[in-house]
Amino acid sequence: MPPQDFAGRPIAEIVEAFTSGRVAARDIVDGVLARCERAQPFNAIATLDAKGARETADALDARRKRGEKFGALAAVPVSAKDLILTRGLRTAYASVTMKDNVPTLDTDAIAQWRAADAVLFAKTTTPEYGHKVLTDSKLHGVTRNPWNREHTPGGSSGGAAAAIAMGLGPIAMSTDGAGSGRIPASCCGVYGLKATLGRVPHEKTTDQFGQLTYLGVMARHPADLGTGLAAMSRGHIDDPWTLSIGRTPFAWPQAGDDPIRGKRITVIRRMTGGYLDPDVEARLEAALAFLDKRGARIREMDGREVDWKLDVARIILRANQIERFADLLKTRRDDLDPSFAKTLEEGEAIDVVMLRQALLDRTLAYRAVQKLFGEADLLLTPTVATPAPPATQNQFAPLMVDGKPIGDLRSAWYTYTIPFNMTGHPAISIPFGQSKAGLPIGIHFVAPWYAEGALISLAQAFDAETQASALFPPGFAPAG
């Protein structure tokens, strides 16, 4: 059979087409690989494994002929960010210093996807060691937004978001350290989920108990977030956060009540009183109108009423980064991206008093958010304050709007995502329309611990209203 373009199809349809014998896994994979060729100008793929993906597909086809049973991701093409260890497939961390690194084992979440019979076909682009919310590197170059190549897809999971937007598989595994999964999901018009701390094993990190970074899922269809999360949520002995909830993997689909009617939703329009793009605010207003129509109980609060401890995540992350990469800064500085070197210098300036205070402040941030959930079932914010910045945006330069600086990226653009990496709460970016210039805009919901199912069901309700899952960037809509 010729390659089969399953772009835009949910996972359930792909699995059924394969397991029923209507379509070979090889043809599904060849369809994705053909799309990868078309997508090359946007640079979403760090390492393509066409040979390995076809071999995996051929093995699945042979098993089907023998009448074997399959996992929940049977013949589903998946990708993983270039920070995630993948056995036999280069994991370069977008760094010249690791350009030849081929791991001998998988991160457990990837091992779980493979055990569910997924077909890993690529690693997606990221900035060097995932250090910023833009996606470019010395090793892989600049990744561009598929809706407008002059803009960034966001970061640091920018390649994953761009790949999903262009139909390069139905799900991608991301990472999220301060919004790195949700930010690019918003910029590229797809769904991005950060689960609760401990829901997904992240056993390869150096600081297990101070964990701020999560393995997440991006998808075109909300239900595929659930399927992808369920297939990577078994606990791991080396990740202490998973040893409670991880003993019982996340289940999808879930039965439940109406995800909107009667829900108490607290809206936080601005975290710190800063700039909010008029197009973003207009889409937030439209979301509020939809929620009100569906029977939600909405209240707004001034984000300045809460001390979000926004610098805490930066201090903890930078302290960990300089401990891990100090030798690279000393011996291979010229090989590093200048912005990564500057990031590490920030880490050098952090002393033990600052770090100790940050660790204490993380607890205060958690308690502040928990207090909000005493009066709310969900929190709602924009995902980011403006649509995607230019592809050439400097991480340390001011963000410009109409020729005027509105502040640095951390304080002016992505304040909304940072707190919930510290506090562990699950959060999701939901695509909800576009700017006047045609760039995607996302809205951001946060839920109590372990309420990922509520967030996914909420996303399904929004998708039924917007049909966002059917939208493709120019030139990438499936034929017919």
Q: How far is CA 139 from CA 166, 204, 444, 445, 452, in A?
A: 22, 23, 32, 34, 35
Q: How far is CA 144 from CA 141, 148, 197, 229, in A?
A: 10, 8, 30, 27
In whole angstroms, give the CA distance from residue 390 to residue 384: 14
- Whether 3 maps to a domain, the answer reads no
In whole angstroms, give the CA distance from residue 49 to residue 29: 11
Q: How many domains does the chain have?
A: 1
Token pair in block for residue 311: 């610098």
pLDDT at 246: 81
- Whether 247 maps to a domain, the answer reads yes
Token pair in block for residue 275: 């700039």
Residue 1 has pLDDT above 70, yes or no: no
Residue 480 has pLDDT above 80, yes or no: no
**Tally of CB atoms within 10 A around 437:** 11
Residue 420 has pLDDT above 70, yes or no: yes
- Quickly list H helices, 117-208: 158-165, 182-188
- Whether 38 maps to a domain, the answer reads yes
What is the H or E stretch that residue 121 is in? Answer: strand 119-124
Token pair in block for residue 58: 């051929």
Residue 3 — very low, low, confident or very high, per pLDDT cuts 50/70/90? confident
Token pair in block for residue 422: 């510290």
Token pair in block for residue 293: 């129509």
In whole angstroms, give the CA distance from residue 319 to residue 208: 14
Q: Is the pTM above the cut of 0.85?
A: yes
Residue 236 has pLDDT above 90, yes or no: yes
Domain containing residue 378: 11-470
- Whether 414 maps to a domain, the answer reads yes
**Tally of CB atoms within 10 A around 167:** 25
- Whether 480 maps to a domain, the answer reads no
- pLDDT tens digit string along 103-149? 999 999 999 999 999 999 999 999 999 999 999 999 999 999 999 99
Sign of the CA dihedral with 164 first, then 170, 176, and 181 last: positive
- Whether 313 maps to a domain, the answer reads yes
- Whether 158 maps to a domain, the answer reads yes
pLDDT exceeding 70 applies to what percent of the chain?
99
**Span 170-188, mean pLDDT?**
98
**Span 190-205, mean pLDDT?**
97
The candidate with the shortest Cα–Cα distance to 146, out of 479, 480, 475, 478, is 475
Residue 290 is part of a domain; what is its CATH number?
Answer: 3.90.1300.10
Angle at 385 between CA 269 and CA 305, to 5 degrees: 35
Residue 245 — very low, low, confident or very high, per pLDDT cuts 50/70/90? confident
Please count the CA atoms within 13 angstroms of the CA of 341 that sit on its side-chain side.
13
Residues 6+ apart with CB under 8 A from 441: 186, 279, 280, 283, 382, 383, 387, 431, 432, 433, 434, 435
- Whether 286 maps to a domain, the answer reads yes
